[in-house]
């Protein structure tokens, strides 16, 4: 399968995405019969574009797109959603969780033009996943979203492929490394919330304004995306209750500890018939809970199914390379819904 | 995709395989565009066969194949490996780890006749996996083997789909529930090896002759199958050292416990360039090891990759339904190597 790729966004993940292809193309060709070429790269200032394919080595070496010879400032975006130019759009522009734009329009535009999409952008998925996946399936296209809910950590991928055939009735996840790190350090080292938070900022894993993490919003966005992908639902931020960890103090942690418990922040979704109860909440767990050892910056998801039992997964690199890998994973795993054997 | 299925083996897993289809066919049709019909079922005494498709409801209700109207005692096996009759063989006859026969011949015969195969049979994979997978890929066929190395527990599936694009350089697994249960009970309750073993026999998870489990052979067979599937190798039982747990006594467990450690039996494989070091061994682990909470009859695998980091998975029902689910999972996940989009 030959993928003719257009890329929107040229930050660390976009760059790593191209670099990974230059490193692994020979292996992936042999193992998965995968070919790819790059035909445009857009960012907020303009684009490079080439119908015959861009030279990826000069792109990898460029610190900025505008250093490249075929750079066109202020290039118009709409010209490039052309199925003669590309058959796969990689959308990794910055996330907007207010309304998903402009990425939402890019993705919709691509799918309507019979172009597959793989994205790490949470915004469009938060608002219109159901509409987008219906459009993709109607046109027998790939809509890969694994990167948006854990990157290398395969939260959605596991549900799609390892639980293929199952109905998942419960999903619970430790989905935010900053919150889990803070709760772990308060438990293990008895340091204050503020001290633990400062450590996460010093480590570069929390933002300078960390409210997106510690107020539970990041966990909320991820559990919504995972739930809508795996439970065929269309819940939004308005449908769920969200707890954060801002008001957790050492007394709360130490009282739990005296009872043999830890406190964890989880995103959860429970499906009962076609009703979904989802949210973000603090739970107390004891030594026998599957999340007992999920400490520090680790993430984990616990899936419950009637057919095949319960499953726990944890791990995966938190890095631009890890995120870029997850985009390629979606591409490699793509299987059209309408599948005919075309043996030659 | 319409699968025309032939089934060899009519034990608990074979029966559950058919029953699952009767329960989930409508859901799978909608979700995966999957259709199936059953055209023969063989066991050691004969077969039922119907070119137009067998009535699965009467099969589900039958306690024995020989009660069915189209039962033919002593039916010849070779007549049914016919690509006009079936395009998928499910091989779940009893395992023979001496030489893999007769299942090895069935599977080879099917693949040579352009018939895909999904199997839970360890024997053929232990001896000839590389040859069989090459044959399948050459003919653009499915060879699904997930059931053979953990059933619902997705040891191979995770490597194929969640680590798609990665090179795995280390695999470590707690792969045998009987051994893990015995080691756990000796640690937790200080009971003797024999007492713990008797519990596993009473629970029905160990054989009356439990040497296949406690001498490490089951773990060995599983790590070989997983390794050959995920590391592109062809190791056999002759290539690896195997430790069991028969000589573990309470002194050994308690000395480890005094040091803050548990003892676990693991299968492992480490890839260094193209050399594989694999085996089954006892290890001491401390509280920070990912396997620390993998107790009782639980199984787990830890995968190490350079590209995407380390991953741990655990869980999955140990039952005929769990095994049957894993056969369907392979079918649902099938993606031909030569993939063309055949939009209609």
Average pLDDT of every residue of chain A: 94
Mutation for A interface: B29, B83, B307, B324, most A CBs within 10 A: B307
Fill in the DSSP letter of residue A168.
E
Strands (E), chain B: 2-8, 35-43, 46-49, 71-73, 88-91, 116-119, 143-144, 168-174, 241-242, 261-272, 275-286, 300-305, 309-315
B248 upstream amide cis, omega within 30 of 0:
no
Closest CB to A315: pick one of B312, B316, B341. Answer: B312
Phi and psi, residue A190, nearest 5°: 55, 30
Closest CB to A140: pick one of B311, B325, B341. Answer: B341
| B264-282 mean pLDDT | 97
Strands, sheet with B309-315, edge to edge from the N-terminal-most edge strand: A241-242, A275-286, A261-272, A168-174, A300-305, A309-315, B309-315, B300-305, B168-174, B261-272, B275-286, B241-242
- Per-residue confidence (pLDDT) for residue A344, from 0 to 100: 35
Q: Which residue matches tokens 């003669």? A: A84
Buried b (16+ CB within 10 A) or exposed e, A28-38: beebbbbebeb
Question: What's the gap in Å between the CA of A307 and the closest CA on chain B?
Answer: 7
Of B108, B122, B222, B299, which one is the catalytic site residue? B222
What is the second-level CATH architecture of the domain A168-314?
2-Layer Sandwich (3.30)
Between residues B44 and A130, the one the model is more confident about: A130
Tell me the pLDDT band of A80, cut-offs 50, 70 and 90.
confident
In terms of DSSP bridges, do strands B71-73 and B46-49 run parallel, antiparallel, or are they unpaired? Answer: antiparallel
Question: What's the gap in Å between the CA of B10 and the closest CA on chain A?
Answer: 20
Express each pLDDT in B13-56 by its tens digit: 999 999 999 999 999 999 999 999 999 999 988 899 999 999 99
| A238-256 mean pLDDT | 97
| A155-162 mean pLDDT | 98
Q: End-to-end alpha-carbon separation of chain B, Å?
A: 13
Question: What's the gap in Å between the CA of A62 and the closest CA on chain B?
Answer: 23
CB–CB contact B33 A292 (8 Å): no
Fill in the DSSP letter of residue A290.
T
Q: Is the pLDDT of residue B340 over 70?
A: no
Average pLDDT of every residue of chain B: 94
| A243-265 mean pLDDT | 98
Contacts of residues B285-291 at CB distance under 8 Å and 24 or more positions apart, as own/partner, are B285/B261, B286/B260, B286/B261, B287/B260, B290/A293, B290/A314, B291/B172, B291/B174, B291/B264, B291/B266
Mutation for A interface: B36, B341, B344, most A CBs within 10 A: B341
Express each pLDDT in B212-270 by its tens digit: 999 999 999 999 999 999 999 999 999 999 999 999 999 999 999 999 999 999 999 99
Mutation for A interface: B16, B155, B159, B165, most A CBs within 10 A: B165
Q: Is the pLDDT of residue B343 over 90?
A: no
| C-alpha R_g of chain A | 21
Q: Which residues of A touch B157 (CB under 8 A)?
A: 161-162
Angle among Cα A48, A52, A54 to the nearest 5 degrees reads: 40
Contact, B175 vs B299, CB < 8 A? yes
| Torsion of the alpha carbons at B74, B76, B82 and B86, rounded to the nearest 10 | 20
Question: From residue A136, how far is each of A129, A140, A250, B86 by CA, in Å?
Answer: 10, 6, 48, 31
Cα separation, B322 vs B152, whole angstroms: 5
B102 upstream amide cis, omega within 30 of 0:
yes
Query: Looking at A55-69, B5-19, B230-244, which range is the least confident one?
Result: A55-69
Of A4, A108, A185, A222, which one is the catalytic site residue? A222
Tell me the pLDDT band of A77, cut-offs 50, 70 and 90.
low
Query: Looking at A271-275, B77-81, B156-160, which range is the least confident one?
Result: B77-81
Tell me the pLDDT band of A207, cut-offs 50, 70 and 90.
confident
In CATH terms, A2-152+320-333 corresponds, of 1.10.10.10, 3.40.50.720, 3.40.50.300, 3.40.140.10, to: 3.40.50.720
| B166-173 mean pLDDT | 98
Strands (E), chain A: 2-8, 35-43, 46-49, 71-73, 88-91, 116-119, 143-144, 168-174, 241-242, 261-272, 275-286, 300-305, 309-315
In terms of DSSP bridges, do strands A116-119 and A143-144 run parallel, antiparallel, or are they unpaired? Answer: parallel
* Nearest residue in chain B measured CA to CA from A25: B165
Contact, B292 vs B266, CB < 8 A? no
Q: Which residues of B touch A1 (CB under 8 A)?
A: 339-340
Closest CB to B317: pick one of A164, A309, A344. Answer: A309
Active site residue A222: yes
| Torsion of the alpha carbons at B146, B151, B157 and B159, rounded to the nearest 10 | -100
- Per-residue confidence (pLDDT) for residue A341, from 0 to 100: 55
Q: How large a percentage of chain A has pLDDT more than 70?
A: 98
| A231-253 mean pLDDT | 96
Tell me the ipTM for this assembly: 0.96
Q: Where are the domains of chain A?
A: 2-152+320-333, 168-314
| A27-36 mean pLDDT | 96
Q: Is the pLDDT of residue B344 over 70?
A: no
Tell me the Ramachandran region of residue A240: left when phi exceeds 0, alpha when psi lies from -120 to 50, beta otherwise: beta
Q: Is the pLDDT of residue A342 over 70?
A: no
Q: Is the pLDDT of residue A118 over 70?
A: yes
- Per-residue confidence (pLDDT) for residue A343, from 0 to 100: 43
10 Å Cβ neighbour count for B330? 25
Tokens of B12: 């608990």
Q: Which residues of B touch A293 (CB under 8 A)?
A: 290, 292-293
Express each pLDDT in B56-94 by its tens digit: 999 999 988 999 988 888 777 667 899 999 999 999 999
Q: Which residues of A touch B163 (CB under 8 A)?
A: 329
The residues, ordered by sequence, that sit 6+ positions from A307 with a Cβ below 8 Å of its Cβ are: A165, A166, A167, B20, B317, B321, B322, B325
Task: Assess whether the region B2-152+320-333 and the region B168-314 belong to the same CATH fold.
Answer: no
């Amino acid at each position: 399968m030959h993928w003719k790729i257009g890329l929107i966004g040229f930050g660390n993940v976009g760059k790593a995405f191209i670099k990974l292809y230059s490193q692994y193309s020979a292996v992936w060709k042999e193992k998965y019969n995968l070919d790819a070429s790059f035909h445009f790269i857009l960012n907020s200032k303009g684009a490079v574009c080439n119908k015959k394919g861009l030279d990826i080595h000069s792109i990898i070496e460029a610190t900025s797109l505008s250093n490249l010879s075929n750079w066109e400032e202020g290039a118009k975006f709409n010209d490039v959603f052309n199925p003669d130019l590309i058959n796969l759009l990689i959308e990794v522009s910055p996330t907007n969780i207010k309304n998903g734009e402009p990425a939402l329009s890019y993705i919709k535009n691509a799918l309507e033009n019979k172009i597959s999409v793989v994205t790490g952008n949470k915004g469009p998925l938060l608002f219109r996943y159901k509409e987008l996946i219906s459009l993709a399936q109607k046109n027998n296209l790939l809509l890969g979203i694994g990167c948006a809910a854990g990157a290398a950590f395969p939260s959605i991928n596991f549900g799609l492929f390892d639980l293929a055939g199952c109905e998942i009735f419960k999903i619970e996840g430790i989905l935010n490394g900053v919150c889990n790190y803070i709760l772990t350090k308060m438990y293990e080292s008895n340091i204050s919330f503020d001290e633990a938070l400062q450590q996460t900022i010093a480590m570069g894993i929390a933002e300078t304004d960390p409210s997106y993490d510690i107020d539970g919003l990041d966990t909320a966005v991820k559990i919504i995306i995972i739930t809508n992908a795996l439970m065929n639902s269309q819940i939004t931020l308005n449908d769920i209750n969200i707890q954060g960890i801002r008001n957790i103090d050492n007394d709360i942690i130490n009282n739990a500890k005296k009872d043999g418990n830890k406190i964890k922040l989880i995103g959860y979704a429970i499906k009962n018939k076609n009703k979904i109860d989802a949210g973000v909440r603090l739970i107390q767990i004891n030594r026998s809970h599957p999340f007992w050892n999920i400490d520090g910056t680790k993430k984990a998801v616990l899936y419950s199914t009637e057919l095949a039992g319960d499953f726990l997964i944890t791990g995966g690199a938190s890095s631009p390379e890890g995120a870029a890998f997850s985009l390629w994973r979606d591409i490699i795993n793509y299987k059209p819904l309408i599948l005919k054997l075309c043996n030659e």
